[in-house]
Amino acid sequence: MTNEELVRTLITAYGNGDLDTLLKHCCEDIHYSVQARPETAPYAIACNCKNDFIGALQQYGADWEFQRFELIDIIASGDKAACRCAIQSKHRKTGAVLSSQSALFLTIKDSMVTHIYEFHDTDAISALSG
């Protein structure tokens, strides 16, 4: 599987709520971060292991229900990939619907994701979180 195919598989899995597929392609010491000002949302996070990555995904899933998470664009070269995704989520507490896009930058080594840097419109997320 090429790195582009791997990223496409992971984005599809995440959008379908298939965390098992996502996690089996992440190394144990995965570096994951959501790049944002910490005061704009509780989702600005940096973690350095799979357990913390799982916790971050579970926190987001506890607050937001994914209605759509789809790949729009991808660029892959060597051990790096960048992609843009369309997101639609409904806040479980407020009922507010977020329609936005995110950018993800991934590093892949031996078919395992080692780094994910994620960028969102955290001001919009914060405003809709109540």
pLDDT 10s digits, 37-91: 776 667 778 899 999 999 988 888 898 898 999 999 999 999 999 999 999 999 9
Domains plus CATH for the chain? 3-128 (3.10.450.50)
Q: Is the pTM of this model over 0.85?
A: yes
Dihedral sign from CA coordinates of 118, 11, 126, 62: negative
**4-12 mean pLDDT:** 95
CB 94 within 8 Å of CB 129: yes
Backbone angles phi, psi at 25, to 5 degrees: -105, 15
Greater model confidence, 35 or 12: 12
Q: What is the pLDDT, as a whole number, of residue 84?
A: 97
Give percent of the chain with pLDDT exceeding 90: 68
Q: What is the pLDDT, as a whole number, of residue 78?
A: 96
